[in-house]
Amino acid sequence: MMNEMTYTICIFTENTIGLLNRITIIFTRRRINIESLTVSETERKGVSRFTVVIRHESREEVEKLVRQIRKIVEVMAVFGYLNDEIVYNEIALFKISTPLGSKSLDVETINKEHKAWVVYWGLDYVVIEKTGNDTEIFAFFDYIKQYEILEFVRSGRVAVGKTEKGLVEYLPEGEWTYYQ
Amino acid sequence: MEAIANAPETLEIPTIPTYINGSHALMQTLVAEGVDTIFGYPGGAIMPVYDALYDFQERVNHILVRHEQGAGHAAQGYARMQRRAGVCLVTSGPGATNLVTPIADAQIDSTPLVCIVGQVAKKLLGTDAFQEADIMGVTMPITKWNYQITSADEVPEIIAKAFYIAQSGRPGPVLIDITKSAQLELMTKPYVYKKCESIVSYRPRMVAKQEQVIAAAELINAAKRPYILAGHGVQIAKAEDELRILAEKTGIPVATTLLGQSTIPTNHPLYVGWLGMHGNYGPNVMTDQADVIIAIGMRFDDRVTGDASRYIKQAKVIHIEIDPSEIDKIIRADAPVVGNAKDVLQALIPLVHPNDHTIWRNEFRKYDIIENETITVPELTSTAGKIRMAEVIDMLSTKTKGEAVLVTDVGQHQMMASRYYQFRRPNSLVTSGGMGTMGFALPAAFGVQVGAPDRQVVAIIGDGCFQMTLQELGTIVQNKQPVKAIILNNNFLGMVRQWQQLFHERRYSFVELQNPDFITIARGFGMDGQTCHERDDLSNALDTMLAHDGPFLLEVIVEKEENVFPMVPSGASVSQIRLK
């Protein structure tokens, strides 16, 4: 699509069975494809945070989507963001073949230029971890593909808003304990 | 050593307190929630609850339906009359899946239901056990909330939460899936019931923000041609009086949606008619003339707006609505007011100036004259050919003084009932609006009668619809409910035939029915009935039906190829409404 924008939707929910399904069927019904999805418990115990990345050409439709998600009984709050409103990252792992006699890795370039780290040495392969936004990860991908990439995996996006307050400040009042 | 020697010979067994099982906890909680009527159907995975129910027969009236869909629609009818949750109780698997249609119907028409369905034992979950269906997954998109209970201890809290969610805010259906093991096992603690009064993640707004109400009042006070569109939300909020007071103070004309009918008496001077594909001429086209639209408890369904991109473009829109996701969903609101219709209108009434919009209101009347001349009068005064649907409804309206509750099915007869019944009392039309569920009327009428024993209940049913749920005649007879049912029989799926005639060059594709003898069927169930063929017999036939002590089926043979007008063709704008 011409004017597609990337939206990051942060959803705070109670941590209960079936929530993922409740949330994703709202996307499915409106034929919105989920680009990435990450779920984890927040600093508040029992509160999960979903980070969903979608691409859409209409801000209005995304706002409607956000309101539909907010309707789920277990959902406490939903926030939709454009990229410039958040700090966000992903993590990628590259499994690179290093058989005997192959071209040796330029670890200095990997470390200094790409801020990527070798996190595991196998007998004839290494695993490199690269954290960054998708542009940075794919820049590294382009660099490292001169070696044989055995496996490449990228996590979903995690993001925090650029507002001063933490998002949990916006959650409804209640008895909260901090996540241990 | 001595102590041991002196020990008593028999071991002392400490008495372990035993607590009630999940099924009794369920029944106790239902009673605590004020449930006195359950529509249900037993089966394997819900038998422990039925066993507990046996002990509660004095306090809870369980009604055995003939099909779970009937239980769902009956509970909907009951809920609409009582304006609180209707309760269904069914077994797992097919029992639960048979409830899917009424649940979807209740969701789209905002009807509170608590559906309790059995499930296989916890250890069998996910094993494709006998009568196991993933009803949680199936109903997730069509319920307001659903939950699977897998231990007896959860029962009181979850059931209380179910009623709270179903009945608060914008009402809707809640499904509780309860495993057989949870029904059977004992609680591990004393049973305690506590009413659910709030949920941290769910806070429906009842009272609107004052600045939103003020913004709405300012638009109303400045309006030259204001127009109120009242929906089902007004009835759900019991805000009929507030709506009338607002209209009378400001002189603003009021139209209703299909489900909003009877909110204001049809003879009220400010009532102009109803909206929608087959609604009245004036109310539809005048939406294009208004400068301020005040939409109350309605959601701009596509049957109301026609082509939404061409709907009320010229008007400022005030949207009073309890569900924030409805704001800007179809029509952008200039002044959204999120809150319960009753609370919002109470706050709004003191802020609006008294006014008199007689000249503006009279503009509706010229359309009424056209509609009367081209449609209404000819339909009501025809003397040749078979009886017209309009005549039946009109005569019924006169004979019941507009005070009956009409329960209508879906199709031409539904639209005709809405066109010609002159409602005099609030909450008097129960119909399947959003879902358009054929087969709704007969079981719903039964539920309406149970929920409103003092009211005359008349179901208006098409010959196609009737055959979808006719087995509920048995429920009506067994429970001795004096439901009157009128089949308007044209031997066609009339509305589909009308579309095929108008938009598919009369290619009548599978719409003609070879019908059974409906009266013989009714008699087989032990219900009286008669067929009316001739115009001259209609009055007597209606009198016989209305005077009959107990349920009665009246079949009226009507004109075969009658069309419902006005009609906004699908996808057209409301201004393109057709009169023929």
Model ipTM value: 0.90
Please state, in angstroms and as integers, the Cα–Cα distance from residue B340 to each residue in B205, B242, B330, B436, following that order: 7, 12, 20, 26
B438 CB-contact burial (10 Å; exposed 0-12 / middle 13-18 / buried 19+): buried
> Are B143 and B251 in the same domain?
no
Q: What is the model's pLDDT at position A101?
A: 86
> Are B78 and B120 in the same domain?
yes
* Ramachandran bin of B65, using left for φ above 0, alpha for ψ from -120 to 50, beta for the remaining angles: beta
Domain that holds residue B302: 210-363
Best B107, B143, B176, B201 residue to mutate vs chain A (most A CBs within 10 Å): B201
Please state, in angstroms and as integers, the Cα–Cα distance from residue B434 to each residue in B137, B299, B300, following that order: 22, 10, 11
Residue A46 has pLDDT above 80, yes or no: yes
Residue B17 has pLDDT above 80, yes or no: no
Confidence of residue A179 (pLDDT cuts 50, 70, 90): very low
Running DSSP on this structure, what letter comes out for residue B199? B
Count CB-CB contacts under 10 A for residue B219.
21
| Mean pLDDT of the residues in chain B | 96
> Are B549 and B433 in the same domain?
yes
CA distance B252 to B232: 19
> Are B52 and B161 in the same domain?
yes
Best B125, B134, B175, B200 residue to mutate vs chain A (most A CBs within 10 Å): B200
- Strand A125-132 with A86-97, pairing: antiparallel
Q: What is the model's pLDDT at position A43?
A: 86
Domain assignment present for residue B104? The answer is yes
> Are B180 and B279 in the same domain?
no
Confidence of residue A180 (pLDDT cuts 50, 70, 90): very low
Of A67, A73, A174, nearest to B325 by CB-CB distance is A67
> Are B55 and B175 in the same domain?
yes
Q: What is the model's pLDDT at position A173?
A: 53
The residue with greater pLDDT, A174 or B525, is B525
Place of tokens 């208006």: B460
Would the CB atoms of A73 and B137 count as touching at under 8 Å?
A: no
Of A18, A60, A173, nearest to B136 by CB-CB distance is A18
- Which CATH number characterizes residue B509's domain? 3.40.50.970
Best B202, B322, B327, B332 residue to mutate vs chain A (most A CBs within 10 Å): B202
- State pLDDT tens for residues B325-346: 999 999 999 999 999 999 999 9
- State pLDDT tens for residues B447-472: 999 999 999 999 999 999 999 999 99
Of B145, B200, B329, nearest to A76 by CB-CB distance is B200
CA distance B448 to B464: 21
The verdict on B145 touching A (C-beta cutoff 8 Å) is yes
* Number of CB pairs, chain A paired with chain B, less than 8 A apart: 41
> Are B291 and B359 in the same domain?
yes
CA distance B26 to B116: 10
CA distance B82 to B72: 15
| CA distance to partner chain B, nearest, from residue A76 (Å) | 4
> Are B291 and B406 in the same domain?
no
Q: In the structure encoding, which two tokens stand for residue B541, read together?
A: 């036939």
CA distance B95 to B189: 31
**Region A38-49: what's the mean pLDDT?**
91
Domains and CATH numbers, chain A: 5-86+159-170 (3.30.70.260), 89-156 (3.30.70.1150)
Would the CB atoms of B141 and A68 count as touching at under 8 Å?
A: no
| Mean pLDDT of the residues in chain A | 89
- State pLDDT tens for residues B103-149: 999 999 999 999 999 999 999 999 999 999 999 999 999 999 999 99
Residue B43's Cβ-side half-sphere holds a number of Cα atoms within 13 Å equal to 25
> Are B293 and B396 in the same domain?
no
Would the CB atoms of A13 and B324 count as touching at under 8 Å?
A: no
- Strand A149-154 with A75-82, pairing: unpaired
The verdict on B136 touching A (C-beta cutoff 8 Å) is yes
Domain total of chain B: 3
Q: In the structure encoding, which two tokens stand for residue B533, read together?
A: 């063929």
Residue A176 has pLDDT above 90, yes or no: no
Would the CB atoms of B323 and A71 count as touching at under 8 Å?
A: yes
Three-class secondary structure of residue B22 per DSSP: helix
Residue B409 has pLDDT above 50, yes or no: yes
Q: With beta carbons under 8 A apart, name residues in chain B contacting A173.
A: 200
Interface of B with A in 151-190 (CB under 8 A): 165
Residue B65 has pLDDT above 50, yes or no: yes
Cα-Cα end-to-end distance for chain A: 44
Interface of B with A in 443-482 (CB under 8 A): none
Confidence of residue A44 (pLDDT cuts 50, 70, 90): confident
B564 φ, ψ (degrees, to nearest 5):
-95, 120
The verdict on B268 touching A (C-beta cutoff 8 Å) is no
Q: What is the model's pLDDT at position B419?
A: 97
Percent of chain A clearing pLDDT 70 (strictly above): 89
Q: With beta carbons under 8 A apart, name residues in chain A contacting B196.
A: none
Of B148, B165, B329, nearest to A64 by CB-CB distance is B329
The reported pTM is 0.94
Mean pLDDT lowest for which of B2-6, B266-270, B418-422?
B2-6
Q: With beta carbons under 8 A apart, name residues in chain B contacting A68.
A: 325
> Are B473 and B521 in the same domain?
yes
Q: With beta carbons under 8 A apart, name residues in chain A contacting B137.
A: 21
> Are B340 and B390 in the same domain?
no
- State pLDDT tens for residues B226-270: 999 999 999 999 999 999 999 999 999 999 999 999 999 999 999
Compare all CA atoms of chain A with the CA of B166 and give the residue at the minimum distance.
Answer: A73
Query: What single letter denotes the amino acid at residue B201?
Result: S
Running DSSP on this structure, what letter comes out for residue B269? T
Q: In the structure encoding, which two tokens stand for residue B154, read together?
A: 């959860």
Residue A177 has pLDDT above 60, yes or no: no
The verdict on B218 touching A (C-beta cutoff 8 Å) is no
**Region B397-415: what's the mean pLDDT?**
98
Is residue B298 within 8 A of residue B235, CB to CB? The reply is no
Residue A102 has pLDDT above 90, yes or no: no
Q: Give rounded-to-5 percent helix, strand, coil for chain A.
A: 25, 40, 30
| CA distance to partner chain B, nearest, from residue A26 (Å) | 8
**Region B199-223: what's the mean pLDDT?**
95
- Which CATH number characterizes residue B342's domain? 3.40.50.1220
Residue A2 has pLDDT above 60, yes or no: yes
> Are B155 and B255 in the same domain?
no
Domain assignment present for residue B566? The answer is no
Q: With beta carbons under 8 A apart, name residues in chain A contacting B329.
A: 64, 67
Strand order in the sheet with B316-321: B271-274, B254-256, B226-230, B292-296, B316-321, B335-338
Compare all CA atoms of chain A with the CA of B322 and give the residue at the minimum distance.
Answer: A71
- State pLDDT tens for residues B149-179: 999 999 999 999 999 999 999 999 999 999 9
Residue B11 has pLDDT above 70, yes or no: no
* Residues of B marked as catalytic: 68, 130-131, 180, 495
Would the CB atoms of B144 and A70 count as touching at under 8 Å?
A: no
Is residue A131 within 8 A of residue A115, CB to CB? The reply is yes
